[in-house]
Amino acid sequence: MGKPTGFLEYNRENNETLDPTERIKSFDEFRKPLDMEKRTQQAARCMNCGVPFCQSAMKLNGMVSGCPLHNLIPEWNDELYSGHRRHALSRLLKTNNFPEFTGRVCPALCEAACTCGMNDTPVTIHDNELAIVEYGFSHGFIKPAPPEVRTGKKAAVIGSGPAGLACADMLNKRGHSVTVYERSDRAGGLLMYGIPNMKLDKSVVARRISLLEQEGVVFKTGVDVGKDISADELTAEYDAVVLCCGASKPRDLNVEGRQLNGVYFAVDFLKSTTKALLDGSYENGGYISAKGKNVIVVGGGDTGNDCIGTCMRHGCSSITQLEMMPKLPDERAPGNEWPQWPRVCKTDYGQQETAAVFGHDPREYQTTIKRLIGDENGDLTAAELISLTPKKDEESGRTVMTPIEGSERMIPCEMVLIAAGFLGADEYTAEAFGTELTARGNVKTADGGYSSSAEKIFAAGDMRRGQSLVVWAIAEGRAAAKEVDNYLMHYTNML
């Protein structure tokens, strides 16, 4: 696929990014696409490797490498290199409902497994994907295509994040009548309110929602299922219900001073900024602001990094990001060879921006908050940090991070953002439908499937598998739709 000698002739070239000191001046997307000539060269690097690990989604050493959607990567790289961009688009859309999302926010598990990356840099699969789908939109190749025949079956999808949207899209294309319920004021779930604008502009989400509506999907926003409408009403009206509510129960910070003003969950903080931008109230301060504050972000994942990037755009005074675990190596360690997912230290956009403005990486490893201190008004003023060291627990045999006595230190702090992950789904929706939950707080489904313990109730995405990636959510939504289709029609022709 591609040009047989392309990987020898062309070096990897990523999409261009604006300088960190410039991009923090707005919430606009800061990655700019290459021109099509350069993009064609990047597609030419796909090396006809024979065994395309990039589309495999193999679990190696406890982590997945390769695309969970099994995207036909060598095929659309070849079409892109050959100038057949519309054919490239058709191959891309065959397995991925929303390449405009994954092409922006996916961490590119495919590139970790790219054969070209074994001895060189991997193919720019992520950027190629985005170029193909945006070419399709800009040239009018992606347009409403409602089903010609309806089956007479009705399905409700609860939650409009990537899993819910993918499930709704597949069921609607099959001819079922689909209604999506969303408790927020706008559809999109975490795509709308969990991922900041500079990573995923909300016009991109709105564009896809509009397309789905034109194809016949009905969206009902501001409806909290289990509170505003009962499970009994939905099960009486619909032939199948799919729960795609996400893993939205955040892990809290159990320390002295947690109740002080200035301590927020990351998702609430991020949503407030995005909503203010969309509502036109940002300039009036209609959001949780980090301006002029010393900020601590608890958690080292993508959400924590998004908090950092948002704080930088607010105009914070300083940022400290706390990570409990030791720093990962800068290069692959022995035992973590290709095609495994590289367990290496990643410096993301928010951390790059902090380094550019404040002159240092914001991360402090093996560190956590011991207590928070406030003033007489209950406002946060400082945090006491403590260092951690790994120790093996004698009973369980597991390694746990243990506080080091005497390592305490105080730093000024007026805002703490808790980005420590999620503990599963909000229980009330699952309980309303009578579905069982796992020990981790997710909806329990049949082994290898998506049907719950309740009749005609299915689950997909983070609500079923726990906190994960957008690409996994889309894959789950597609797979759940196939199972629902089989349940409704007693057969399925979905891929």
Distance (Å, whole) CA 324 – CA 387: 9
SS3 label, residue 488: helix
* Those residues with Cβ within 8 angstroms of residue 67's Cβ, 6 or more apart along the chain or in another chain: 54, 55, 56, 57, 73, 109, 110, 471
Helix axes 302-314, 266-279, angle to 10 degrees: 50
pLDDT of residue 1: 58
Tens-place pLDDT, residues 374-409? 999 999 999 999 999 999 888 888 889 999 999 999
SS3 label, residue 12: coil
Q: Which CATH architecture has domain 6-138?
A: Orthogonal Bundle (1.10)
- Residue 51 CB: number of other CB atoms within 10 A? 8
Distance (Å, whole) CA 139 – CA 145: 16
SS3 label, residue 10: coil
Q: Which regions in the chain score pLDDT beneath 50?
A: none
Q: Which residue has the tokens 């579905």?
A: 435
For the segment(s) 154-248+423-489, the CATH number from 3.50.50.60, 3.90.105.20, 3.30.750.24, 3.40.50.1460 is: 3.50.50.60
pTM: 0.96
Of 60, 237, 3, 38, nearest to 127 by C-alpha is 38
**Superfamily the domain 263-418 falls into:** FAD/NAD(P)-binding domain (3.50.50.60)
Say whether 263-418 and 6-138 share the same fold.
no
Tens-place pLDDT, residues 43-78? 999 987 889 999 999 999 989 999 999 999 999 999
Tens-place pLDDT, residues 315-372? 999 999 999 999 999 999 999 999 999 999 999 999 999 999 999 999 999 999 999 9
Amino acid at position 39, single letter? R
User: Would you kindly state where each structural domain of the chain is located, as residue ranges?
Assistant: 6-138, 154-248+423-489, 263-418
Q: Which residue has the tokens 């199972």?
A: 483
Q: What angle do CA 374, 375, 378 make, to 5 degrees?
A: 70
Distance (Å, whole) CA 50 – CA 114: 12
